[in-house]
Amino acid sequence: MVVNRKNIMEVKEMIQFLNQESIQVIYDSEQVFSISHTSCKIYFWNGGFYNSYEENDERLISVLSSIVRIEKKIDSEFYPIWTKEDGIINQNENFVKLNGKYYTIKFLELLIEQIREFKKINI
């Protein structure tokens, strides 16, 4: 099971979600991987390096749990379609681009609130 704060997604649901065209995933280590599929395996590509897993592979659960962001290429730009913070992002969401990545307004508002709370604690 892939667990996050707002959205719990089963492994099969996550694999189906990753089975879209022009997808890339970002891990908590900030590594970016492209995704491809065959009938029985899912491949995570990073340049010339790749890992492959069968859908029932126990290691796949660990890999999916490390994903913090899934992006889809739309008009030559990658936009988030799922993040640990937001869960699944609908296409009507507004985005802001910071340091080369798009973020939802909702995520940025929460981040600003966390910064305010942090400042209160450290003052």
46 assigned to some structural domain? yes
Q: Say if 107 falls within a structural domain.
A: no
The pTM (predicted TM-score) of the whole model is 0.79
Q: Is residue 28 part of a domain?
A: yes
Q: How far apart are CA 20 and CA 23, in angstroms?
A: 6
* Domains in the chain, number: 1
Per-residue pLDDT band for 6 (boundaries 50, 70, 90) equals very low
Residue ranges making up the domain that contains 47? 2-91
Highest mean pLDDT among 10-14, 17-21, 77-81: 77-81
pLDDT (tens digit, 9 = 90+) per residue, 48-72? 888 899 887 888 888 888 899 999 9
Residue 78 is assigned to a structural domain of this protein: yes
Q: Is residue 108 part of a domain?
A: no
Q: Kindly state the percentage of the chain with pLDDT values over 90.
A: 30
Q: Can you give the pLDDT at residue 39?
A: 78
In a domain, 25, yes or no: yes
Provide the pairing of β-strand 67-74 with 77-83: antiparallel
For residue 3, pLDDT beyond 60: no
Distance from C-alpha of 49 to C-alpha of 74, rounded to nearest angstrom = 24
